[in-house]
């Protein structure tokens, strides 16, 4: 209490910048997910050389992506990346832990994963996400934003669990450091280094690049990220009460794996395109539009109520001409180098009664998605306004008004995580070194009391299927299982 009273009469002395690190302020886009800690996990079908993994990953961060080796700090009320001038044993670029089990993975004491690695069904299915987090995260891994703010804590924590036939690799950080495309960018650069490419030939990210600096000044007048809501007073209270009540009625949150065979997806796309062709329409849809349309139609098939559904889809900004070609320039261009920090916003579909999705055709849902994406990406001024709203105002916004619900979906198919090849780190078996392919990718978000229901991501694709992670309440999943719209394993 006395410290609070003192603050009314005395101004705190500003904390000077560190002498042993370079300072980069976090952008408003980074701050949007700061309370979320995400572990991205990979299962590789070979026994990998842990020492080589650690040495190459650390080298890549130190030399090509030094900001990935930053420490997070809250200095004078501002979140900052403190990039060490020198990395050494006392200031490592990453925290790296490992466990060697010296036996095959399959065991009655471990969750089975063969149904994921060897899936071959021609129809979509949903299954529970196996409890394999301990193979991707060590017990010492930070679990909250507060943990990452501990001095000299690396922002990247890597854990490797090695079995005779499989290797589990997990990379954990606060969402303030990475978005999904950022992790993909770092992983593909690492793959090149493991494959023997010269370090100098691998594009990196300058430690001081700040593409969102020009968006930090508020625009004249009040602006809000389109599709999001600034709730105050009674409407904010009503939103919170309804949200809490929904959680009380369905307290257990469950993460599920969704597998959609590519042949099935392409058949649905072909049917939609044939319908459009028969109408002599010039419109088109992509396979990802059909994928999302299938998910919304299928996952809300049990709903008979007219609750408005607000759908948000993330958009990658990296390739858009929104950023000064050089600092201070009025000429705009895409981000000029690989960029691992956050660079996404979201677009919003027109709200629709959730019970209409069941009767809507796949064609109509996919067309709505494609039309909104096309309009959004052609409106660079509108996108710039959304980015400025996120960066300059840094305010709490809500995904829907009271009485509605939402779905926030991301699509990482373009990230190519399923195509990663770790053969450069494979250990020989029987005197021969074989391929080391990524067979499965997953992600585990966590935050202090944060519900993730209503969120999902297309994580990767392999030769046969596209894979999603989706989160909902346990009772929601059970209702969907009972209507039989999709198979549950």
Q: Is residue 14 part of a domain?
A: no
| Domain coverage including residue 431 | 20-488
Q: Is residue 272 part of a domain?
A: yes
Q: Mean pLDDT over all residues of the chain? A: 93
Q: Is residue 335 part of a domain?
A: yes
Q: What is the pLDDT of residues 335-381, one digit of tens each?
A: 999 999 999 999 999 999 999 999 999 999 999 999 999 999 999 99
Distance of alpha carbon 267 from alpha carbon 174, whole angstroms: 39
Q: What is the pLDDT of residues 72-128, one digit of tens each?
A: 999 999 999 999 999 999 999 999 999 999 999 999 999 999 999 999 999 999 999
Q: What is the pLDDT of residue 9?
A: 52
Q: CB–CB of 105/166 below 8 Å? A: yes
Distance of alpha carbon 74 from alpha carbon 27, whole angstroms: 13
Q: Is residue 236 part of a domain?
A: yes
pLDDT classification of 487: cutoffs 50, 70, 90:
very high
Q: What is the pLDDT of residues 26-56, one digit of tens each?
A: 999 999 888 999 999 999 999 999 999 999 9
Q: What is the pLDDT of residue 5?
A: 46
The reported pTM is 0.93
Question: Is 378 in a helix, a strand, or coil?
Answer: coil
Q: Is residue 9 part of a domain?
A: no
Q: Is residue 5 part of a domain?
A: no
CATH number at residue 219: 3.30.559.10
Q: Is residue 361 part of a domain?
A: yes
Q: Is residue 349 part of a domain?
A: yes
Q: What is the pLDDT of residues 160-212, one digit of tens each?
A: 999 999 999 999 999 999 999 999 999 999 999 999 999 999 999 999 999 99
Q: Is the pLDDT higher at 47 or at 222?
A: 47
Beta carbons within 8 Å of 436's beta carbon, 6+ residues apart: 44, 45, 46, 48, 167, 421, 422, 423, 425, 426
Q: What is the pLDDT of residue 1?
A: 44
Q: How many domains does the chain have?
A: 1
Residue that is written with structure tokens 């089990």 in the block: 101
Distances (CA, A) of 266 to 119, 262, 294, 465: 18, 6, 12, 11
Q: What is the pLDDT of residues 405-454, one digit of tens each?
A: 999 999 999 999 999 999 999 998 766 777 899 999 999 999 877 789 99
- Residue 2 in this model has a pLDDT that exceeds 70: no
Q: CB–CB of 24/413 below 8 Å? A: no
- pLDDT > 90: percent of the chain: 87
Distance of alpha carbon 102 from alpha carbon 110, whole angstroms: 14
Question: Is 413 in a helix, a strand, or coil?
Answer: helix
Q: What is the pLDDT of residues 252-287, one digit of tens each?
A: 999 999 999 999 999 999 999 999 999 999 999 999
Give me the residues paired with residue 40 across strands.
Answer: 171, 443
């Amino acid at each position: 209490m006395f410290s609070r009273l003192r603050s009314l009469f005395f101004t705190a002395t500003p904390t000077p910048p560190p002498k042993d690190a370079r300072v980069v302020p976090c952008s408003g886009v980074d701050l949007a997910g700061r309370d979320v800690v995400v572990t991205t996990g990979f299962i590789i079908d070979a026994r990998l050389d842990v020492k080589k993994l650690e040495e190459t990953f650390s080298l890549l961060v130190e030399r090509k992506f030094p900001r990935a080796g930053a420490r997070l700090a809250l200095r004078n009320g501002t979140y900052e990346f403190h990039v060490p001038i020198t990395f050494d044993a006392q200031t490592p670029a990453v925290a790296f832990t490992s466990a060697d089990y010296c036996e095959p993975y399959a065991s009655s004491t471990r969750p089975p994963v063969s149904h994921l690695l060897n899936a071959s069904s021609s129809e979509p299915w949903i299954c529970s996400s196996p409890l394999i987090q301990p193979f991707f995260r060590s017990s010492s891994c930070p679990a909250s934003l507060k943990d990452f703010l501990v001095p000299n804590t690396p922002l990247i924590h890597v854990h490797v669990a090695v079995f005779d036939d499989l290797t589990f690799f997990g990379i954990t950080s606060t969402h303030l450091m990475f978005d999904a495309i950022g992790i993909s960018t770092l992983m593909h650069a690492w793959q090149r280094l493991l494959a023997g490419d010269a370090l100098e030939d691998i594009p990196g990210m300058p430690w001081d690049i700040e593409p969102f600096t020009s968006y930090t000044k508020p625009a004249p007048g009040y602006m809000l990220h389109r599709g999001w809501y600034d709730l105050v007073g009674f409407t904010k209270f009503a939103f919170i009460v309804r949200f809490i009540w929904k959680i009380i009625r369905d307290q257990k949150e469950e993460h599920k794996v969704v597998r959609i065979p590519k042949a099935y997806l392409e058949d649905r796309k072909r049917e939609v395109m044939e319908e459009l062709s028969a109408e002599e329409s010039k419109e088109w849809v992509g396979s990802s539009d059909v994928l999302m349309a299938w998910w919304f139609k299928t996952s809300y098939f049990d709903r008979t109520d007219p609750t408005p559904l607000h759908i948000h889809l993330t958009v990658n900004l990296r390739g858009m001409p929104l950023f000064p070609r050089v600092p201070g320039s009025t000429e705009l261009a895409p981000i000029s180098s690989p960029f691992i920090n956050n660079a996404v916003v979201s677009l919003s579909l027109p709200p629709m009664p959730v019970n209409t999705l069941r009767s809507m055709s796949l064609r109509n849902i996919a067309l709505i998605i494609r039309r909104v994406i096309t309009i959004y990406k052609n409106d660079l001024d509108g996108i710039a306004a959304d980015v400025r709203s996120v960066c300059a105002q840094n305010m709490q916004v809500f995904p829907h008004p009271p009485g509605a619900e939402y779905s926030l979906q991301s699509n990482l198919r373009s990230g190519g995580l399923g195509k990663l090849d770790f053969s450069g780190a494979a250990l020989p078996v029987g005197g021969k070194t074989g391929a080391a392919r990524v067979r499965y990718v997953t992600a585990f978000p966590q935050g202090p009391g944060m519900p993730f229901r209503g969120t999902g991501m297309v994580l990767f694709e392999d030769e046969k299927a596209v894979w999603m992670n989706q989160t909902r309440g346990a009772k929601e999943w059970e209702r969907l299982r009972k209507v039989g719209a999709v198979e549950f394993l």
